[in-house]
Amino acid sequence: MSNYDNTNKAVIFKNNKKEKDTHPDYNGTINVEGKEYTISLWVKEGKAGKFFSGSIKEPYKKEKEAAEKELKSFSEKINTANDLPF
């Protein structure tokens, strides 16, 4: 266990899994005031030379997405059941 404080710090790596031009050239994580985000960077070419273009998002969570799909499916079943004529 580490006592390292990563608050307001980032770590970024070259994306070795890039398959399409739309995939980021670099990705990693960034901590902003104690909250973790994912960061994606693309290398772009401009009039003044190369630069980074990027985005920061909340981390992707498979469990959250699966739970939302299950809840939606359950909700649709309940709504269908309420439409029964008896």
Q: What is the pLDDT of residues 7-51, one digit of tens each?
A: 999 999 999 999 999 999 999 999 999 999 999 999 999 999 999
What are the tens digits of pLDDT across the range 2-11? 688 989 999 9
Q: Lowest mean pLDDT of 28-37, 47-56, 67-76, name the range.
A: 67-76
51 lies in some domain? yes
Answer yes or no: is 5 within a domain: no
DSSP β-bridge partners for residue 41 = 26, 54
Angstrom CA distances, 71 to 44, 60, 80, 81, stand at: 41, 18, 14, 15
- Residue 62 belongs to a domain: yes
Phi, psi of 4 (to 5 degrees): -70, 130
> Which tokens in the block code for residue 73?
């499916």
In a domain, 26, yes or no: yes
Q: How many domains does the chain have?
A: 1
* The pLDDT value given to residue 11: 95
What is the residue range of 74's domain? 10-82
Q: Domain for residue 3, yes or no? A: no
pTM equals 0.65
